[in-house]
Every structure is written in C-alpha cells, then in structure tokens.
Chain A
Amino acid sequence: MFTGRFRTDRAAVFGAVVAGLLVLLAILAPVLTALEGQDIASFHNDLVDSARGGVPIGSLGGISGQHWLGVEPQTGRDLFARVAQGAQISLLVAVCATMVQVFLGVVVGLAAGLGGKWLDTVLTRLADISLAFPVIIFSLALLTIVPDSFPRPLLLALVIGVLGWGGTARISRAQTLSLRTRDFVAAARLSGAGGFRIARREILPGLAAPVITYAALLLPSNVITEAALSFLGVGVRPPTSSWGQMLSTATTWFRSDVMYVLIPAFMVFLTVLSFTLMGEGVRVALDPRTTRLTRKAG
C-alpha cells in the first residue's frame, strides 16, 4: 500500500530519484573524482590569476573537461571534488543528526508515555522547551567552546541531534499513549510482561510509521542547519569542505567568480528540495492526515 501510494506521487518520485543520485555522489565521491582525473587537495597555480587575487582563469570559474565544475579561486583546487566531499559531509551530518534525534525522541517519548504522571509532566515540558529553542543559535554558542581536536562532523551531528529531539519525543509520546490503551498491550500486561518488554515488543513497532514520517521531514531541515552553521563559520574545518563553508567564502567572490557562489547554493537547494519532496511523499503515503510539524531551520 505504501509503495503504491508513493509511486503515484510524481513529485515524491522525482525527489527520491534526485536524493538517490545525491547519495550516490556522496558515496562515490572519491571514485568520481578519480574518474575526473583530479584530487581534492592539489593546488593548481597555473589555473588562477595570482596578480588579480587568484580568480580562476577562463570563463565560468574555469570550467573545462579537466575540471568539471571549474576550480576554487586562489588555490585552483578542483571544485567538483570539493562539491562531492561537501555532499558527503552534508548527508553524513544530516543523517547522523536525524538518528540522534530519533533515538533520543523515541526513548523520551516512550518514557513519558509509559512512565508515571510526574515523569510525563517533566519530560513533556522538556520536549516543549527543546522544540521552542532556536537550534542554530544554541549550536552556534555550543560549537565555539568545544576544542577543535574533537571530530567536527560528529560534533555537528551530536549538537544538532541533542538540541532537536523535541518533535520526535512529542510524536512518540502521543502514539505511545494511544497504543497503551489498546487491547494487545493490555493482553501483554496481563500475561505478566514488564514495562521494558512492553515498550520494546508491543509499543515500539507501532511507533515506526509516525516516527519515520517525521524523520523524513527532519532530514532536510538538518541539511539546512548544517549548511547554516558552516556558513556562520562553526561547521566542519578546512581543509574538509562543506557547502555552507564554500558559500561563506564565496560571498566575497560575487563579482569576480559567480560560479563559485552558484554551485554550492544550487547543491544545497537541490538536496533540501529532493529530500523534502521525498519526505512529503512518505508522509502522504504513510499517513495522509499527519500535520507538518517540522519547522524550517533557516
């Protein structure tokens, strides 16, 4: 039923295909770069005009058969290789952050739904607050005080994840509350199953559909958050490249190398759009009545 409904949704299919290609780009980044005949770190001094600040020589930022997306100003490093690595970072951080959010959210939601009244009140309150907090502003503050020796992509995923579990918790709790009154749960309880066992065996499977739906919409919003944090200068550290970071350096190159702005901008747009379309498709296919709960991050 799910696949049937999803397949008829043309926008969702388009989103899924593009998203799939982006995932491929991320996974095959080293292979594709090798195929292009380039690598990510080599400087090409002959491809930039040193006296003019290092603008790429040639039109459209130096796009050529050797450099599919041109080269980076100043360094002459291959832009395709850097964009592909950007895809890796973007998707890796977004997926991991979503996993953290889902894990924390489900655990808290279950605890709130199955625990006592007091626990429920406290956890719901916490979830409300976490949902209301501006993730980007708080991550901005948090990311500055963690030493640079901590692996940056992991840190980003953790910070975004830990600050953004409120929505999943809310949904899990609501679903748990409705499930716990159902007959099969009551039966399990009568047969002497403990709270933990009930949570794992009876409730958890029932949470899958709404949580997946929600996670599918969280993912693109996490892509935006990562890009925004990198744009503000607290994302992954160079020489690792990311789209947000490229955008923030590209802002000075508007006039002299417009492609350097447009390429990462387009990549972020494409990623968010495709995953959003896919997420909407999942939502409609799984449960047409779910209301959209994600808020745009940026």
Chain B
Amino acid sequence: MLGYAVRRIGGAAAVLLIMSAVVYVLFYLMPSDPAQLVCGIKSCTPDRLALISHSLGLDEPLYLQYWHFLSGLVAGRDFSMGPSVVHCAAPCLGYSYQYTEPVLQMILDRLPVSGSLVVGAAILWLAFGIGIGVLSALRRGRWVDHAVNALVLGGLAVPIFITGLLALLVFCVSLEWLPFPTWVPFDENPLLWAQNLILPWIVLALTTMPVYVRMSRAGMLETLAEDHIRTARAYGLPERQVIGRHALRGALSPLITLAALDIAGILTSSVLTESVFGLPGIGQLTVQAVRNVDLPVVVGLVLLIGTVIVVCNTIADLLYAAVDKRVSVS
C-alpha cells in the first residue's frame, strides 16, 4: 500500500511538472505579446516596447522564463516595477501586468464568489438529487419514476447557459420577482447575498442534479435487492427504518466518489453560470483573462485548475485503494 501510494504521488508530481511545462511553452510561444498589450496602442513605439519587454523579462529565452516561473512557485519572486520591487510570495503563480497584481491574489479574491455559488448549489443538488433519486427508486415503475426519468433526460439536454438565460428571462424580466444578480459579500448583507444568489444556485443545481438522481436511484435499487435489506424486512422492522438506516447508507456511498470525480464538471458549470449571471468569480476571471489575453492569469488559472484536478484524482485513487484493501482483507 505504501509503495503504491508513493508511486501514485510521484506519478502525479511528474504529471504536474510536464503539464506546467507544456502549458507554459504553449501559451508563451503564441504570437500575442504581453508587452504589446501593456504598451498600449497610441502610446507605443518600438523602443518603448523593447524597454517594457525587458522590464517584464519577456526578452529572456523561454526556458529561462519557465525556470523563473518554477522557482517562483517554490520560493516566490520579485517583479521590478520602477523604483519599487513587487514581491510575489511563494507559491507565486505569476503576476498580471494588466491588473498589477499577483495572479494567486486575484484568484483568492474571487474565491468567495465561486465558493458561495458552488456550496449553495451543492446543498440543493445533493438534497434534491438524492431525495428524488431515492423516491424514484422506491416508486419504481410507477408514474413518479417515469416522470423523474423523463425529467432527468430533459435536464441532461438543457445546457446550463440556456437554463440560466431562461431563468433570467422569466424571473427577472417577465415576473420581476428577483433583481438581476449582483455579487453582495455574505459579511456585508447575508440576506442580499442569498437573494442575489438564489437564481444561480437553482440553475447550477438543476443542471448538476440529473446525474445524482440517476446514481442514487440506481444505488438504491441495488441496495434494496441485497440480502441484509430483505432480512431486515423479514424481521418486520418498520419500512422507514429499513430505508433510512440501512438502505440509504449503502446506496449513497458511491455518490461520494462521484462528487469527488465530478470536479471538472462542476468547474465548467460554474464558469458558465458566472458568465450568464455576471458574477465576479473565478469563472468570470477566466473568461475575462482569456478576452484580455492576460497570459499570466490564463496560465496561472489553467495550472491551478489542473493541479486541483490531478490532486483530487490522486486522493480518490488512494482512498479507493485503501477501501479496496480493507475489503480484500476482510
């Protein structure tokens, strides 16, 4: 087990290193020049451009730039900005010349928005997803089950940006029940925070839910067919206790793995949700950085997201291996 873990973590580290090199080279080899963007249009002369390029370190060979980037991750790095020097503390993901701010700081600043969005929505989709899935399993073959099945299929066919647009159209434009969502920090006004987020929460939850409905329905059906449930029933335990205490537990454990592996899906959905509702989270930062061709931010974000995913994957694998072992031992 230990050997496996070491190999797995080593492998993940290698993947991260290769990924960072590929991403870095790919993005910085491209024709668009960050110095040009900083230099401006009317104000730029070739001499000035060269000066800016130099002060940003963009005239160095690519491998050296990458090396500075890597060492910045470990030890932090300094950016010369006129008489003063801006220190970007480790782990330094880079420095945005357009925002004159370290990339990591920009991401952290936007974390509360994306966090609020995802956590709120997750509560909804888990509660309703599991609830509806279980209900559907218990009413297997009846009209409830069929209706749920149809809704799940329909739900899978509506992309989140359409659900979001329609929700805005109905609730903010036609019915005027809600204001157009604007970000209000929780510590400023919890009530407004929730009022502004309710629509994004529902929309994100609706899109993520169908998979959870399916999984919990399938899990529930499988568990219900198992021996210990039949035994429990045979002993005359009340149905509520059979379901609530025994069946549910067995049915839901695969969902935890699903949730861990579904990070990519959730990230994608939240990017789209944020851009539909104009919420200033990490997703919107990504879209903005891409539009402004703010390369340090794009590279930083891509690498950070990649890292999160590789790390989560590795943890999921290790957990799975640990569980697997226990199973084989017993």
Contacts and interface: CB of A to CB of B under 8 A. Distances in A.
Contact of A234 (B32, B157, B261, B290): B290
Contacts of B264: 132-135, 295
Chain B contact residues, majority secondary structure: helix
Nearest to A244: B161
A285 B321 CA distance: 34
Interface in B304-326: 305-306, 309-310, 312-313
A129 interface: yes
A234 B291 CA distance: 9
B180 to A, nearest CB: 10
Contacts of B32: 145
Q: Which of A141, A147, A254 has the most CB of B within 10 A?
A: A141
Contact of A136 (B154, B271, B293): B271
A41 interface: no
A123 interface: no
Nearest to B264: A134
A254 B174 CA distance: 10
Contacts of B11: 125
Interface stretch (B84-92, B125-133, B163-171): B163-171
Interface string B17-59: 0000000001100111000000000000000000000000000
A280 interface: yes
B15 A129 contact: yes
Interface string B134-175: 000000000000000000011011111110011011000100
Interface in A214-230: 220, 224, 227-228
A233 B291 contact: yes
Chain A contact residues, majority secondary structure: helix
B267 interface: yes
A228 B165 contact: no
A85 interface: no
Interface stretch (A22-30, A91-99, A106-114, A268-276): A268-276
Contacts of B291: 144, 233
Nearest to A291: B218
Contacts of B27: 141, 145
B165 A273 contact: no
Nearest to A258: B169
Given A140-B290, A269-B162, A292 B272 contact: no
Nearest to B278: A251
Interface in A145-169: 145-147
Q: Which of B156, B261, B302 has the most CB of A within 10 A?
A: B156
A227 B162 CA distance: 10
B165 A247 contact: yes
Interface string B254-282: 00000001111101110110011000000
A255 B172 CA distance: 11
B5 interface: no
Q: Which of A133, A247, A251 has the most CB of B within 10 A?
A: A133
A132 B166 contact: no
B162 A297 contact: no
A147 B31 contact: yes
A277 interface: yes
Contact of B265 (A220, A292, A296): A296
Contacts of A134: 264-265, 267-268, 271, 305, 309
Given A132-B261, A277-B153, A255 B173 contact: yes
B309 A141 contact: no
Contacts of A296: 156, 207, 210-211, 265
A113 to B, nearest CB: 20
Given A145-B32, A232-B287, A138 B302 contact: yes
Given A232-B271, A296-B265, 20 more contacts: A125-B11, A135-B268, A136-B271, A142-B26, A145-B26, A145-B293, A228-B159, A233-B287, A247-B161, A247-B162, A250-B165, A251-B165, A265-B162, A269-B157, A272-B157, A273-B157, A276-B156, A295-B262, A295-B265, A296-B207
Interface of A: 11, 125, 128-129, 132-138, 140-142, 144-147, 220, 224, 227-228, 231-234, 244, 247, 250-251, 254-255, 258, 261, 265, 268-269, 272-273, 276-277, 280, 292, 295-298
The 6 A-B pairs at the shortest CB distance, nearest first, are namely A273-B157, A145-B30, A134-B264, A298-B159, A272-B157, A134-B268
Interface of B: 11, 15, 26-27, 30-32, 153-154, 156-162, 165-166, 168-169, 173, 207, 210-211, 214, 261-265, 267-269, 271-272, 275-276, 286-287, 290-291, 293, 298, 301-302, 305-306, 309-310, 312-313
